[in-house]
Chain A
């Protein structure tokens, strides 16, 4: 259903009370670390202190002798068990070799945390150093140590693994468009511009560390409470790794205390399974935040090389780019085909470029394995691409907004990777920047403005939801999408109510584990409103038809003439008076169960034009030339949106996106030295606080044409990726230096200013 109905508009405009609100504001929402299971043992893991080493020997005898210790396991005990989301290349516990500092070498289960900690300290491991490589490009040079010389035994979950020109590549992709010999096009260009941009590893910064509680019951059913945002995915992985049949694994994720991509990958559920097997006891594991920062699955560090040719009118005619992502020691944490980071093709994603040659390299290195973080890689593609575009515009003497307007995609155009767009809104958001912001007005000294134009796809996938009539005039919606904070339960309630034409209060949304609820792809990739929303429409439509037929039957009204509308059953031909929903539904429910399954798979959409949210930023900064400090004075995000289902939550996603992107832009960096992460607390890995946040204004460019329910689009990971580029472009406008490395700290800006003056730094 894509048209916005009157019912839907009325329901969506009403103030929203989040279903889970009372639980969350009262501390009663149950997160994984809150789960108490009787007799549970505490799990702790010994992490490798070295980035690359051969394990000569492990002695666990002293650890096993600690009172209260029930099991100490190493790779020798469980064998080489490899886990992953698509590529299974990460050992549950290291066997013979460690490939990054932080790799799990041994697992302990003990009665108390103190006993577990003591045992960890008493495990004796003798290592023999191996040559390491830490940089994504160095890993691809001749003579670099190979991390995975024989990957033939790795399971790959998406058919045949793509060709890789180098064994130190987790994945490689070449995308081309237009002229085969792009050098010929570059040779014909009026001007050619080249730039290099880079960004460091960054952490998702969720406040809840990874945790799991796992036990095996008397019927050999494995129960897992997990922070995994894709519980069905975890069930599949656990089954493949352990050999335990999938129907006998039940995963319950429910409330997740912050995700931002970081809860897509989980690690400790796998060793906890073996600890539960070894001890016959439930196992509880809660990471420390230091472990999260040292050995989670952060955002990749990246280097982009960009080259773009324009004609005499300023039209882009050719674009070439190479992106080197530092994938770390394993590709396991990534869910995409060939361990690729999709943003590799993203620097010029919003422009109509006829000829392209775009390469993405994801390297193996002896560093922490990297995963996804809110719009994976897109912040760096945005910083690189939009900085590059800004550079070209200024060199050509063109206004950066006008240059973007000249080159951005319009209806019928295709992007640099030949992707199609469904009603792209690039022009509309840029026009809104001109109309709604201070762009182009006079500036004070050391003040500058930057603009950015980017997009984010509306996510895709599959989901199923069960809607059933309960006694008492309620309708239950049962689904397995974990709640990581976006408000999806309230989306389901409002969409179901809109389709059924009943009071939203009648819809009781309930989360179910993988044993009870039906398949869901997980809360990620900006897919939930679209995919779960459409599944809800399918289920509610089917339930409504059943209820109308049953109402006719139990009330003696003419078949085919009953409609449910305005919270009432109405008899269309006037042969009956109709009745309140609750009364009639109560009679229907007394006759037996009424249930409908709503299923949706976006892959069945026939057209090749995908839906995107386009967006633009206009940010004004003041730069202190004496210190390099950058202050954001004005930030306006212009966002192309579809129908908005939860207005408060929708704005919350846009607010949160901006501040997330602000942290990424200005302060966040997981510092790595010789393969070790050195920023090991939230005191050193600084997240934005209340006192850091600048004023923000949001301008919505609304058109209900999205592929989501009633024309909705996505909201969760749109504008975060544009902040860095907008601030960097504003700094250039203010003081002339172009900041090509993130984050944009005062130190880095100051160093660039010194360099600009020719000073020694």
Chain B
């Protein structure tokens, strides 16, 4: 693998995992957020060779194609946490990392954590609402 190849290229081009999106390419927009050994990273900034021996989790890993969505994904649908959807995989990966680390965040903690994920459609209000709903237990299979 070429040393300059980025994780986002490996995922999207090499492995065909196109759920991870590329927006700004400079680590600002968060569309390419994935979890490497549980930590959120921008896949456009990380050289692919750095993930050798790690566990990389992408949006495709959250819910199988015909299987159930996670409660967080459910809440994004119910609460209008997406519109065009291009930033949504990154938003959901970021929020997944947050809720694993801090299952009951305050609104301010959600906003602070999610600051690195740009959304041009929603104005963010419904993204916060979706995440707080998931944190309160909504969206879990009944």
* Chain A residues at the B interface, C-beta cutoff of 8 Å: 15, 17-18, 20-31, 33-34, 36, 114, 204-209, 255-260, 288-290, 483-487, 648-649, 651-652, 655-660, 681-683, 687-691, 693, 696
Partner of B120, one of A33, A205, A209, A681: A205
Given contacts A17-B78, A257-B84, A691-B112, whether A652 and B73 have CB atoms under 8 Å apart is no
- Taking the closest CB of chain B, its distance from the CB of A489, in whole angstroms, is 12
Partner of B77, one of A17, A257, A288, A289: A17
Q: Cα distance A259–B83 when bound, in Å? A: 11
Task: Give the chain A neighbours of B58 by CB distance below 8 A.
Answer: 27
In the complex, which residue of chain A has the Cβ closest to the Cβ of B84? A485
Task: Give the chain A neighbours of B104 by CB distance below 8 A.
Answer: none
B101-142 toward A: CB 8 Å interface, digit per residue (1/0)?
Answer: 000000000111011111111111111100000000000000
A659 touches B123 (CB 8 A): yes
Q: Cα distance A588–B113 when bound, in Å? A: 55
A652 touches B83 (CB 8 A): yes
B120 touches A26 (CB 8 A): no
Tally of contacts, chain A with chain B, CB under 8 A: 171
- Taking the closest CB of chain B, its distance from the CB of A192, in whole angstroms, is 40
B115 touches A689 (CB 8 A): yes
Partner of B86, one of A31, A648, A658: A31
Partner of B122, one of A18, A255, A290, A656: A656
B85 touches A485 (CB 8 A): yes
Q: Name A's interface SS.
A: loop
B50-79: which have CB < 8 Å to A? 58-60, 62-63, 65, 69, 73, 76-79
A648 touches B80 (CB 8 A): yes
Q: Does B19 contact A (CB under 8 A)?
A: yes
Q: List 15 A-B contacts (CB under 8 A).
A: A15-B78, A27-B88, A207-B23, A207-B119, A257-B84, A289-B25, A652-B123, A656-B122, A656-B123, A657-B123, A660-B120, A681-B24, A682-B28, A688-B124, A690-B117
Q: Cα distance A487–B23 when bound, in Å? A: 22
Q: Cα distance A679–B77 when bound, in Å? A: 35
Given contacts A25-B69, A31-B86, A655-B126, whether A207 and B26 have CB atoms under 8 Å apart is no
Task: Give the chain A neighbours of B83 by CB distance below 8 A.
Answer: 485-487, 649, 652, 656
Partner of B22, one of A33, A206, A486, A655: A33
Q: How many interface residues does chain B have, given as a range? A: 35 or more
Q: Does B29 contact A (CB under 8 A)?
A: yes
- Taking the closest CB of chain B, its distance from the CB of A628, in whole angstroms, is 23
- Taking the closest CB of chain A, its distance from the CB of B64, in whole angstroms, is 9
Task: Give the chain B neighbours of A688 by CB distance below 8 A.
Answer: 124
B126 touches A652 (CB 8 A): yes
Given contacts A26-B63, A27-B60, whether A687 and B18 have CB atoms under 8 Å apart is no
- Besides A20-B85, A209-B23, A693-B123, 6 more A-B contacts (Cβ < 8 Å) are A33-B18, A289-B24, A290-B25, A658-B123, A689-B116, A690-B111
Partner of A28, one of B19, B78, B87, B124: B19
Q: Does B42 contact A (CB under 8 A)?
A: no
Given contacts A652-B80, A652-B121, whether A683 and B26 have CB atoms under 8 Å apart is yes
